[in-house]
Amino acid sequence: MGSFLHVVFVGIICAALGAASWFATPRGKNQVLLRSSVLLSLTCCYLMWAITYLAQLHPLIVPRRSDLRMEY
């Protein structure tokens, strides 16, 4: 069973990646652009993933369908 800790854990990984990218971006005129882009992308993707994951963590409803056929 997944848990809230997974979300925290992935969050820490993303933060670590972000920190690493902060120091890894080469100096130059695109440094600010690269840093902000990488950090924002990480944040956006992490948020989206976390929301999707959390929404399915403790589902309140169960998928239901009425078009299943018998297996042969």
Partner 1 sequence: MATDYPSLFRSEEMSLVQLYIPGEVAHDTIYELGELGDFQFKDLNPTVTAFQRPFTPQLRRLGESARRLRLFRSQILALSPPWNAFDELEEKLRQHEKRLNEMNRSWEELGKRKSELEEKKWVLRETAGFFNEAEHRHTEIRTSFDDGDGTAPLLEHAAEYGTLPGESSLAGFDLEFVAGTIERTRMPTFERILWRVLRGNLYMNYSEIEEPFVDPVSGKETFKDVFIIFAHGPELLAKIRKVAESMGGTLYTIDSSQDKRANALREVAARLEDVDQVLYNMGQTRRVELSKIAEGLEAWRDAVRREEEIYKTLNLLSYDPGRKTLVGEGWVPSRDITAIQLALRRAMETAGTSVPAILSELRTHQTPPTFHRTNKFTEGYQTIIDSYGVATYQEVNPGLFTVITFPFLFAVMFGDIGHGFIAFLAATAMILMEKKLLKAGLDEITETFFYGRYIIVLMGAFSMFTGFMYNDIFSKSLSIWQSGWEWPSNSTGLVFAEPTGHTYPFGLDPNWHGSDNALIFTNSYKMKMSIILGVIHMSFAICLQVPNHLHFKKYLNIYAEFIPQILFMWSIFGYLVVCIIYKWSIDWSQSSTAPPGLLNMLIYMFLSPGTVDPKTQLYAGQGFIQVVLLLIALVCVPWMLCLKPYMLYKEHQRIVAQGYHGLAGQENGHNRVSTSNDLEEDEEGAGQAVAEPEEDEHPFEMGDIIIHQVIHTIEFCLGCISNTASYLRLWALSLAHAQLSEVLYTMTIENAFLFEGNAIAHTIFLVIMFAMWFTLTLAILCVMEGLSAFLHALRLHWVEANGKHYMAGGYAFTPLNFATLYEEDEQ
* 56 sits near partner 1 (criterion: CB under 8 A): yes
Q: How many residues does the chain have?
A: 72
Report the SS3 class of residue 31: helix
13 versus 33: smaller Cβ distance to partner 1: 33
CA distances from 15 to 10, 46, 57, 62 (A): 9, 10, 22, 34
Minimum CB distance to partner 1 smaller for 8 or for 16:
8
Q: Is 26 in the site for partner 1 (CB under 8 A)?
A: no
Q: How far is the CB of 16 from partner 1 (least distance, A)?
A: 19
